[in-house]
Amino acid sequence: MRFKKTLFILSLGTFGITNTEFSVIGILPDLAKAFDVSISKAGWLLSVFAIIVAVFGPFMMMVLSSINKKKLLVFSLLVFTVANFLTPLMEQFSHLLIVRMLPAFFHPVYWSIALSITRQNSHKSEVAKNISVIFAGLTIATVMGIPLATLTSSLLNWKFSFIISGFINLISMIGIVIYLPSKDELNTKIKFDYQFLKNKILWLNFLLVFLIITAMYATYGYMADFLKSVSGLSGEQISIMFLIFGFTGIFGNKIAGKYMDKSPKKTTLYFIIALLITHVLLNYFSVMYMALVVIILLWGLIHSGGFLISNVVLTSIETENQEMLNTIFTSCGNFAVTAGSIIGGYWIANNGIETVAWASIVILCLSLIVLRQKLKLSI
């Protein structure tokens, strides 16, 4: 029972740090206006954060591996809390960017330790189920964080969006102090044995995860523009679609955790096929409103399990370097999100927004080929 409380506290932490990373999307116009910069320059607040997470994740875990893991979790959330509270005080864009950069270094640290603690304290039959609780924080943050920040900025001021994120991280930090015991294994220095990097299955898993997340974001990253330009929806209707997407996503994350525990190979295969079919339906039926509602519902249900499934796939290798694997996953995920955005943008520039779903379809087909190769080597 105590571990269940710890799980939800760790999930609240993932909500807080993910909200800190992505909620800025909803208030970019306000920030651009407040600091008198272009929208593209304001976008650095998101892209620089993601790049730091992707590049420095593994190095941060190596440098900090000898420190008690509970203290690292607490300190990471403290950095996020302070950064969020300091942000409203910044008067120059360069200073704002620096304050945004600092917590990015500790984003992969928190993720890696939270996932490792969850795996270590879970029965073998409930690993994916418990990990899904951690990823629920990410799912809710990616769907609700942006609208929450936008609403707060509209009703009050953009500064209050960061203050709210600061309080969320503060509450999570206090929860970890209270509920997470300082066990002996949390004091153990991580020994990085790089022999596991010679495992061919690991590299196929890495490629598979990269392709899956890239495919997810090649279309999802342009969902709002797609619904506006292709489906002809109003701003209010688009908000409703995002809510439908997010609401079903919460359940999808839970379902993915349940079936990954039972049959990870089949679940991964069915996930890719289901996501592929959803994008095909989106491509052909996006102009039919009722059909679009059903497609968005299914898309959210399937899409949300992608990060959980990807994490289980990548960390399924038997090794004592779980922290390193989780850090690699965090870096891979951020690189893949960036790659998805770039590929989706390139596809739109050359073929039009109405065909962007095909970018995801092509990448998902490639992921099926990689999965097939992986299954052949696993036999």
- In tens, the pLDDT along 305-361 reads 888 888 888 777 666 666 677 777 878 888 888 888 888 888 988 998 899 999 999
Q: What CATH number labels 1-190? A: 1.20.1250.20
Q: How many CA atoms, within 13 angstroms, populate the side-chain half-sphere of residue 299?
A: 26
Q: Which long-range contacts (CB under 8 A, 24 or more apart) does 268-271 make?
A: 268/208, 268/309, 268/313, 268/371, 269/368, 269/371, 271/212, 271/302, 271/305, 271/306, 271/309
Instruction: Answer positive or negative: Cα dihedral of 283, 287, 291, 292.
Output: positive
**For residues 72 and 283, what is the distance between their CA atoms, to the nearest angstrom?**
45
The answer to whether residues 11 and 119 touch, using CB atoms and an 8 Å cutoff, is: no
Q: Report CA 360 to chain centroid distance, whole Å.
A: 18
Which pLDDT belongs to residue 127? 77
pLDDT in tens, 231-242: 888 877 877 887
User: 94: how many CB neighbours lie within 10 A of its CB?
Assistant: 9
- 11-22 burial, b if ≥16 CB within 10 A, otherwise e? bbbbbbbbbbbb
Domain with CATH 1.20.1250.20 in the chain: 1-190, 195-379
pLDDT < 70: residue spans in the chain: 1-3, 25-26, 39-40, 143, 182-197, 317-323, 377-379
**For residues 270 and 224, what is the distance between their CA atoms, to the nearest angstrom?**
26
- In the chain, helix, strand, coil percent, each to 5? 85, 0, 15
β strands within 106-264, DSSP E:
none
Give the C-alpha distances (Å, rounded to integers) separating 374 from 88, 346, 356, 369. Answer: 48, 29, 28, 9
195-379 domain in CATH 1.10.3720.10? Answer: no
Average pLDDT, the chain: 83
The answer to whether residues 192 and 324 touch, using CB atoms and an 8 Å cutoff, is: yes
Which pLDDT belongs to residue 291? 92
**For residues 51 and 323, what is the distance between their CA atoms, to the nearest angstrom?**
20
